[in-house]
Amino acid sequence: MLARNTQTNALHWLGKQLFNRDDPAAFFDPLLETLDPMLVQSQTPARVEQVIEETADTRTFVLKPATRWAGFHAGQHVSICVEINGVKRTRTFSLSSSPELWSEQGLVTLTIKRLPGGLVTNWLHDHLGQGQVLGFGEAFGDFLLPDTPKPVLFIAGGSGITPILSQLETMAARDFRAPVTLLYFVRTQQDVIAEERLKALASRYSALTLNIIATNENDKPRYLKSQDLKAVPGLKARHVFLCGPKGLMDLANELLHQQGVLKKDIHNTFFSSAAPTLSSDLADQVLGGKVEFCKSNLEASSEGDASLLEIAEASGLKPRHGCRMGICHQCSCRKTNGTVINRLTGKASGPGEESVQLCISIPHGPVTIDV
């Protein structure tokens, strides 16, 4: 193994010297892409095998990544890269299939909802079809099932069902015997994503109790209530997994705490960046400030809750990023001076040097960033 790693490193060094680039394996990508896009080396390619209409605004893309892709665990995310009008765009989505589909057939699925005004989601719905190839990142994320079988409660809203689909199918495939309950909130019955998959799971997986709740089919909206949680047997002994709009997740956390569920047993994941909620000691503070991007010799200023990533992009910079919601850490960089507020936690950083995520960091006074 050591000899192989030494040889690989030597070839990589030689390639850098010959081609004067950090990714010498991708030197021939323009040629390879014309022959077969699945041969490119600068990123892991994935070919679209099938597109499934789930609802009026949601599609499932069945993808076949190149065999060098490392695989994933149920509940994880992946960043994809597509070129739109000559510009490469990266976004992060949850994998909605089980790891068994990848290991047995070499396939994965992404279930993606069209977002109003969303550049990438709209392009995917309008332009990505069977046979096309996109860039596929390695899987990441810690929204993972417990190592040992323990009762589980899933609470999902809208497209927040996607990572939970992966988890449910994994549990069914591995004969996870502990009780499992899903509370799935949708606006109407026509908005149920993967309805046939969910019904098939419920019919063959005896441990699963499925409860689909339409919130807007009557005059009075129907939201998560304490009674919904009280109806779950052995609630306090369960791992709870939440994915959905921030309003649902905030309400679920509050009601779960009222029912005595411990914070350590509640697992959250977001599919959009949360609006900043400042901690009590910062609630009356004004956000924004001057931002110095020292590597780029550029200064900018902002007011309000614009993130460092948004400020950088508005200034014409193109820092590396992925999910834009604090999950993938691709936008992490060094803050050398100043204080930022974490958009997800509402807490302030220290005033000195540390690593921050551009997409969820809001300046709180003057800040210097190594970008």
CA distance 337 to 325: 23
The domain that contains 350 carries what CATH number?
3.10.20.30
In a domain, 141, yes or no: no
Tokens of 276: 């900043």
Is the Cβ–Cβ distance between 198 and 212 less than 8 Å?
Answer: yes
In a domain, 146, yes or no: no
Supply φ then ψ for residue 172, to 5 degrees: -65, -45
* Structural domain boundaries enclosing 259: 152-269
Instruction: Give burial (CB, 10 Å; 0-12/13-18/19+) of 108.
Output: buried
For residues 156 and 48, membership in a common domain is answered with: no
Per-residue pLDDT, 277: 56
Tokens of 338: 């100043």
What DSSP state is assigned to residue 28? T
Handedness of CA 304, 310, 314, 317 (dihedral sign): positive
CA distance 363 to 109: 37
Q: How many structural domains compose the chain?
A: 4
For residues 167 and 262, membership in a common domain is answered with: yes
The domain that contains 129 carries what CATH number?
2.40.30.10
In a domain, 288, yes or no: yes
Tokens of 122: 């709209």
Q: What angle do CA 102, 108, 109 make, to 5 degrees?
A: 155
Is the Cβ–Cβ distance between 164 and 135 less than 8 Å?
Answer: no
Cα–Cα distances (Å) from 218 to 190, 214, 223, in that order, read: 14, 9, 12
The length of the chain in residues reads: 371
Tokens of 254: 């509050």
For residues 168 and 242, membership in a common domain is answered with: yes
Supply φ then ψ for residue 86, to 5 degrees: 80, 0
In a domain, 274, yes or no: no
For residues 122 and 201, membership in a common domain is answered with: no
Boundary of a domain, candidates 212, 245, 269: 269
In a domain, 117, yes or no: yes
For residues 158 and 246, membership in a common domain is answered with: yes
The DSSP-derived string for 210-259 is: EEEEESSSSSS-----HHHHHTSTTGGGSEEEEES-HHHHHHHHHHHHHT
CA distance 270 to 359: 14
For residues 185 and 222, membership in a common domain is answered with: yes
Tokens of 66: 């190149």
CA distance 278 to 342: 9
In a domain, 144, yes or no: no
Boundary of a domain, candidates 136, 169, 203: 136
245-248-251-257 Cα dihedral, nearest 10 degrees: -90
CA distance 184 to 133: 32
Mean pLDDT by 10 residues, the chain (371 residues): 45 48 55 57 86 96 95 93 84 93 97 88 95 91 87 96 97 93 96 96 95 92 95 96 90 96 90 53 69 92 81 84 79 93 85 92 92 94
The domain that contains 189 carries what CATH number?
3.40.50.80
Cα–Cα distances (Å) from 13 to 25, 26, 104, in that order, read: 11, 14, 36
In a domain, 93, yes or no: yes
Per-residue pLDDT, 9: 52
Boundary of a domain, candidates 136, 163, 195: 136
Residue written as tokens 């997800």?
344
For residues 27 and 68, membership in a common domain is answered with: no
CA distance 164 to 267: 12
Look at residues 329, 307, 330 and name the one whose alpha carbon lies nearest to residue 320: 330
What DSSP state is assigned to residue 109? E
Look at residues 283, 298, 296 and name the one whose alpha carbon lies nearest to residue 364: 283
Is the Cβ–Cβ distance between 208 and 182 less than 8 Å?
Answer: yes
Residue written as tokens 């099932």?
145
CA distance 87 to 95: 24
For residues 78 and 124, membership in a common domain is answered with: yes
In a domain, 53, yes or no: yes
Q: What is the pTM of this model?
A: 0.74
Phi-psi region of 326 (alpha: psi -120 to 50; beta: other; left: phi over 0): left
Helix axes 161-173, 195-204, angle to 10 degrees: 30
